[in-house]
Amino acid sequence: MKHKSVCVLALTAVLMLGSGCATDVHDIEKLVYASAIGVDYKDGQYYGYVQFIDFQSVAKTTETQKQPAKTWVGEGKGESFEESLFDIYRSAQERIYWGHVTAILISESAFKQGFANITDSISRYYEFRLTPWVYGTKEPIKDIFSTSGFFGRSPLATILHEPEGIYTQTSLIKAVKLHRLIAQTYEPGFTSCIPTLAVNKEQWSEKEKTDPKLMIDGAIFLKNESYRSYIGLKDLAGLRWVQKGSVRAGIPVPSPSEPKVQLVFDNPKSRLKLVHGGSDPKYDISLKATGYMVNRNGNDMMGLQQLTDKTKEAIEREIRKTYQAGRKKKTDVLNLEHNLYRNHYPKWKAMSSVEDKLLAEDTIRDIHLDINITHTGSEKNKHIKRIN
C-alpha cells in the first residue's frame, strides 16, 4: 500500500507539471513581439497601433546583412483603447507578446480624452511593463512608427526607443517613463511634461533623396491626468536650465540671430526660492553652471566679463520666455505650485486659486545666475582675454 501511494503521488506531480507547461509556456517562434504601441482619437473612436520589428534582422550583425530591418504597423479601432487593440488581434496571425514594448505614443487628441483611459488597461494587463518611454505627437502615428534609424537599422535605434543617447548631447526635453508619469499625475500641483515626436523630412538625405528621421518638436503638459497644453520647442528653450537631470545645454551668445560665440554648459543646477508668500507669491530662480566655448564667429571675441554678462542675459531671456509661453496657455511649466506644495504646504493649503496666482505676469521676480566659463575648448586659443 505504501508503494502504491508513492506511485500515485508521483503520477499526480507529473500531471500537474505537464499541465502547467501546456498552458504557460509558448514557443518563441509562435509569438510576435510588439515593440511600441500607439493610441489616437478621431471621429469619436479610439485608434490603436502596434509596431512589430523583424528581430532576426535586428540581431544579425554579420557583413552579409544588406537588407534593412522590416517594420510592420498594425491599426485597429474601437469605442475604447482596449477595443482598438482587440480589433488588431483579428488579423495578427499569431499571438502578440506585449512584454517587449519600450515606447508608448499618444496623440494630442487622445491626451485630451483622458490619460487614465489609456493607462488603466495597460497597468492591469500582466504582460505590459510600466517602464516604456511615453511620448505625445501631433502627427500621424503610422508615420512615426514607420520612420527608421540610420544605416538601415530598425526603429529600435531611434529617439522613440532610445532617447537618452541624444539627451546627453543636447538636453532639450527630458524623456519620461510610464511609471514616473503615472506617479506624477497623483502629485498635488504637479505639471507633467511629455516630449512630442515629429518626422523631420528636411535635414537628412541619402544619395540626394530625403531620408526622414524622428525629432522632438515640443511637449504636451498634463496636470492630474488632465491635458493642459502643447508648447513648441522654440518656446521651451528655457526649460533645460531649470529641469532636473539636464546633462548638456548649448546657447548662442549674445543671441540666436547674432551668434558671436557658442557656449556649452554641463549639468546646470537650478533652485526655486519663494521670496513672498502672501496672497501674491513671488519666486526667485537660482542657477549655477560651468561652461566652455565651442565656437566663435570672427575675431572680435568678447572679453571674459562681457562674455559672462551676455551669457547671463541670454539664459535669463530663455527662462522668462518659457515661463511666459506657459503662462499664456495657463500651464505651470516651471512647476511652481508643486514647489509651493512640497516646501510651503500651509501656504499652499490656505491659498485659493493657487495656479492662477502663480501664473501672474511678475511671479518670477529675479533670476540669479552663477556662470563660470572655464576655457575656450581648444589648446591654441584656450585663454579668454579679461576685459572689465
Could you state, in order of their start, the residue ranges of all structural domains in the chain?
A: 30-236, 237-388
Q: Using 50, 70 and 90 to split pLDDT, how confident is the model at 301?
A: low
pLDDT score at 299: 60
CATH of domain 237-388: 3.30.300.210
End-to-end CA distance of the chain: 103
Bridge partners for 209 per DSSP: 206
- CA nearest to 303, candidates 264, 260, 268: 260
**For 316-334, what is the mean pLDDT?**
96
Residue 238 contacts residue 319 (beta carbons within 8 Å):
yes
**DSSP 8-state class, residue 386:** P
Q: Using 50, 70 and 90 to split pLDDT, how confident is the model at 384?
A: low
Question: Per the structure block, which three cell numbers stand in for 276?
Answer: 513672498
Share of the chain above pLDDT 90, in %: 57
Q: Are strands 95-97 and 71-78 parallel, antiparallel or unpaired?
A: unpaired
Residue 280 has pLDDT above 90, yes or no: no
- CA nearest to 55, candidates 100, 112, 114, 116: 100
Query: Count of CB atoms within 10 A of residue 87's CB?
Result: 17
Q: Using 50, 70 and 90 to split pLDDT, how confident is the model at 267?
A: very high
Which contacts (CB < 8 Å, 24+ apart) does range 301-306 have?
301/260, 301/261, 301/384, 301/385, 302/253, 302/260, 302/261, 302/387, 303/384, 303/385, 303/386, 303/387, 303/388, 304/373, 304/384, 304/385, 304/386, 304/387, 305/386, 305/387, 305/388, 306/387
The 10s digit of each residue's pLDDT in 86-117 is 999 898 888 889 889 999 999 999 999 999 98
What is the rounded CA–CA span in Å between residue 138 and residue 40? 10
Residue 129 has pLDDT above 80, yes or no: yes
Range of weakest confidence among 90-94, 230-234, 323-327, 372-376: 372-376
Residue 205 has pLDDT above 70, yes or no: yes
Question: Per the structure block, which three cell numbers stand in for 99?
Answer: 512584454
What is the rounded CA–CA span in Å between residue 388 and residue 358? 38
Q: What is the mean pLDDT of the chain?
A: 85
Residue 231 contacts residue 194 (beta carbons within 8 Å):
no
Query: Count of CB atoms within 10 A of residue 111's CB?
Result: 25
CA angle at 313 for the pair 308 and 318, rounded to the nearest 5°? 125
**For 77-83, what is the mean pLDDT?**
93
Residue 187 has pLDDT above 60, yes or no: yes
Residue 26 has pLDDT above 80, yes or no: no
Range of weakest confidence among 31-35, 151-155, 304-308: 151-155
